[in-house]
Structure 1
Amino acid sequence: MKNPDSIGLFRGKRILIVEDAYFLADDTGRALKRAGVVIIGPVATASDALEKLATERVDAAILDLHLRDETVFLVADRLVQRKIPFLFATSVSASALPKNYTGFALCEKPKELNVIARELFGSGNAKLN
């Protein structure tokens, strides 16, 4: 069941999008902007994401698991260190995640924004605080 109020959880948040598929990143960014989000990125590499984390305030992140030749786990590790909530938005199964990421939200692509909002800022399991 949809919960339209969940999208309001995004309002005013600064969300890093790490996604190497341009059109998916662009569609996600546009939808988030309509929900009142400040988009950080999107970026397509782990090094670009780490640079954004070093130079920008980030409230949460949406991470594609596989970025061309690399995974996003270095970025996820940094987010964990900084206690920034995130989720993996990917088409792979939960079994592809290393054991230390068991329990983090894993959403299939594409995902409805109200589900992502609940995971990052509501009662979902992506919250680290």
Structure 2
Amino acid sequence: MTRRHQHEVSALRLFAGKRILIVEDEYFVADETRKALLAAGAQVIGPAPTVDIGMSMIDREIVDAAILDIRLEGETVFPIAERLQGLAVPFVFATAYVDADIPEKFGGYLLCEKPTALAEIATALFASKPLNH
């Protein structure tokens, strides 16, 4: 096993036992992310294809972290990001739009291109210190 592969496996273990909300309107991307999270030992909430559904999931479920697509069927995910930020729940933006206009108040949150790099996301969400390479 290469060092990079070992790092990715270690990073994915950070998802184990965590309740992860997926907010994504593209079915195949959402399903691929859901399957990968389940394989890493996470409990998946969603996927939520709209802001309203995502908000209702936050209201009903305990969420440890979230992976948010920025653009959802003509709306942006920023109301969900604000709610999560207010609850001190870590999240990352995962989007195909590298030039996405993210409000400055969310500037500290990781922006990943699709397809989602789950090892990178796990590290951003849960690693309190860098993982050994």
Give the structure-1-normalised TM-score.
0.91
Supply the distance in 1 between the matched residues of 2:47 and 2:100 (Cα, whole angstroms): 26
- Within a 5 Å distance, the mapping from 1:46-65 to structure 2 comes to 46-65=51-70
Aligned length: 124
What are the equivalent positions in structure 2 for 1:1-129 lying under 5 Å apart?
A: 1-2=4-5, 3=7, 4-93=9-98, 96-123=101-128
Deviation for aligned residue 1:112: 2.2
Question: Residue 96 of structure 1 aligns to a residue in which SS?
Answer: coil
Gaps (5+ residues) in structure 1?
125-129
What is the Cα deviation at residue 123 of structure 1?
4.3
Provide runs of 4+ in structure 1 moved above 6 Å. Answer: none
Identity %: 47
What 5-or-longer segments of structure 2 have no aligned partner? none
Indicate conservation of the 8 Å contact 1:94/1:106, yes or no: no
1:95, distance to aligned residue in structure 2 (A): 5.3
CA 1:76–1:105 in structure 2 vs 1: closer, same or farther (change >3 Å)?
Answer: same
Partner of 1:127: none
CA deviation after TM superposition for structure 1 residue 98, in Å: 1.2
Larger Rg: 2
Counterparts in 2 of 1:104 and 1:47: CA distance versus 1, 3 Å? same
Contact 1:18/1:63, CA 8 A, preserved across alignment: yes
Shift of 1:16: 0.3
Structure 1's 95 and 44: CA in aligned 2 closer, same or farther, altered over 3 A? closer
Structure 1 counterpart of 2:126, one-letter code: F
CA distance in 2, matches of 1:112, 1:93: 14
Give a deviation string over 1:17-58, Cα, whole Å, max 9, x none.
000000000000001000001000001000100000000010
Superposed CA RMSD in Å reads: 1.4
